[in-house]
Structure 1
Amino acid sequence: MNKFDSRELRTAMGRFTTGVTAISWDHDGEPMAMTVNAFMSISISPPLLAVSVKDASRFHRQITEQSQFAVNVLSQDQADISRHFGGSPQEGIGRPFSYRDGVPVINGAIVSFICKAENIIQAGDHHIYTGAIEVISDIEELEPLIFFGGKYFEPAQGVVSR
């Protein structure tokens, strides 16, 4: 039995600083997206990444093994896009997509990884999707959007160490 409740766990996990990504995919000719911060590189050779999404998400209902999707690393100017695809509709977002190799990617992202879903693993109330990276979009020299403690941040102007 856990000695904490779900709110305490959520608060504790929120103390870990992350970048912000949005996954995008095509469903019946319509571009779709959702914000996720549970993203990681798994392997360089072969090139693999992973994202974790809630079981109740559209992504989970629509993406199966061998489906294509993109992971878009959002820039510091894309907090509204993150909020919009995180479930809080924002005015003026419209459809910030273009298609690359048949997959919608988010315009203005730092980089987009186009993947093919390889493995789907159930983990509690989420599923972890491993994606074989097929294409890397142009890498833009932009600052990342950062998430910490339930808030968005921009990078500080100093480098702590190299």
Structure 2
Amino acid sequence: MSLTVAPESGVTLPCTSREFRNAMGQFATGVVVVTANTEGEVHAMTANSFMSGSLEPPLVLVSIAKSAKMHERITKAQSFGISILAQDQEWCSNHFAGKTHPVLVPNFVQLEHIPVVEGANVQVATVLRHAYECGDHTLFVGEVTALVQDQGPAPPLVFHAGKYAAIAGAN
């Protein structure tokens, strides 16, 4: 990677993968759980590389590492779910990031035959429409087939600089 940087910034380029990741971590994001159902088995992973892509038709995008098990599962299922987590679901985010809670276990509900996390602020079911290679990741574009939003959503779970954060003034 070759970039031009102002000399006073103190940054040396090209940067390492870790330096790039740390820099991009300065962009606060929400936290989602991505789900897929393959061969009757629910699979899930935590992600923060999620965004809406289009209003007409309603599309969402998620970026998944090619090395992640979820990559193959979305490709195989040709669909995926997105659960936008609430601030009090940090334990759920950790669970699907490999840090399980000794007592709490996430539950799933079906939305158009797609598993989503029970109690999430927003639950989305999609059909896979596009998959774009993007370096060591793939951008999966899903067309929204169903959406449920909590009528009294809790403050969102936020991730910033490698840790969970709270939005100031959120109830």
Whether TM-score is above 0.5 comes out as yes
Secondary structure class of the residue paired with 2:70 = helix
The 5-angstrom pairing of residues 62-81 of structure 1 reads 62-64=73-75, 67-81=78-92
> What 5-or-longer segments of structure 1 have no aligned partner?
none
Secondary structure class of the residue paired with 2:95 = helix
The 5-angstrom pairing of residues 1-162 of structure 1 reads 1-2=1-2, 3=13, 4-64=15-75, 67-140=78-151, 141-157=153-169
Going from structure 1 to structure 2, the CA distance change for 1:70 and 1:124 (only over 3 Å counts) comes to same
- Corresponding letter in the other structure for 1:154: A
Distance 2:139 2:98 in 1: 20
| 8 A Cα contact 1:65 1:119, kept in partner | no
Distance 1:65 1:97 in 2: 20
| 8 A Cα contact 1:121 1:129, kept in partner | yes
Structure showing greater Rg:
2
Distance apart, 1:66 and its partner CA: 7.0
| 8 A Cα contact 2:35 2:115, kept in partner | yes
| 8 A Cα contact 1:65 1:118, kept in partner | no
Q: Could you say what the CA RMSD is over the residues aligned between the two structures, in angstroms?
A: 1.8
| 8 A Cα contact 1:65 1:117, kept in partner | no
The structure whose residues are more often helix, as a share, is 2
Distance apart, 1:111 and its partner CA: 0.5
> Aligned residues, how many?
159
Distance 1:15 1:38 in 2: 13
Distance apart, 1:158 and its partner CA: 6.3
Going from structure 1 to structure 2, the CA distance change for 1:6 and 1:62 (only over 3 Å counts) comes to same
